[in-house]
Structure 1
Amino acid sequence: MGLKDRALAGVSSLWGAVPNPVRRGVLFATNPHFLVGVVGLVYDEAGRVLVLEHRFRTPWAWGLPGGFIEHDESLAQALERELLEEVGLEISAFEPAVDAEHNVRGRYVSLALEARPRGAPTLDLAKNPEILGGAFFEPDALPTGMYPYHRELVVRHAAGLHAGRRRG
């Protein structure tokens, strides 16, 4: 065993002796931190996807519903909460859309889930002042001014293509 191998074995055995909470703390302190968000591909019975117009999303006001995950929330719980907060819509039947946007400069990761409204989809567009509008759109007739990644995600998902994307 060479010097390098012996050194790595020694460090490994020392690291193994450190209690898990301390190891997690060291890893947390020494690694980059990212916000984690969720976006929803929410389809109605006709196969149309929910797209919302947001007041504060510039320059692309239109996009999929979603937001950042709070502590102790699952992806599904975060998406449920966001849709209730944004337009009063209850959703279920979660499926991973197997897609992610990773923005290194913006330091966030956004994961996509597919969902369905519970019952008839009724949108309360006056519920949240952040939301200016919203509707269910055919995947090939999305509104202009839509966030490019969300547009690509809808088009790929409608075509049965699931692939992640990484930006900058």
Structure 2
Amino acid sequence: MRHICDSDWDAIVALEAGAYTGDGLSEGRAALESRAHASPATCFVVDHGNRTAGYLLALPYPMFEYPDLTRAEDIVFHSRNLHLHDLVIAEELRGRGLAKGLLRHFTGTAGSKGYEAISLVAVSGSDTFWAANGYRAHREVTPPKSYGADAVYMSRAVPGVRGSRTNPAHASSHRAPLEDEVG
């Protein structure tokens, strides 16, 4: 696992398009890059051999909110909740533990940076994977249709964080323009 660098974007965009275009969920390069730009320290790629095998994008976001798939990020939220926006492993490399390893690395990073909770929107029936990894569904939160008909908002507390509350809904936040984070 390593942080994303500029030369990774062609592979990330291809992986994202391969995973989501068929379901109408592909966002495009500008939106993906904006999400990583909002929090480069919590976005990763995993290599397998000489290729990018997968990636994970996560950014601070208020609990029970989520990025708009139809636009790029223009605000960085200062939140104790980290939203796991995307985790994709190349289809032919699935089942080798790469997703679980990437998720373990990400969760450790979230804890070391003081995040209290991790949220996500499970799409295309992936809620079973997320539930098996400690995430619980919040059926009272209804993601927009752009996430697909079966989208499920889920969250979990970050394990081992001192002062972490068992109820991730208490993760606080505020927001600032993205430009404040760039310089």
* TM-score by shorter chain over 0.5: no
Higher helix share: 2
Larger radius of gyration: 1
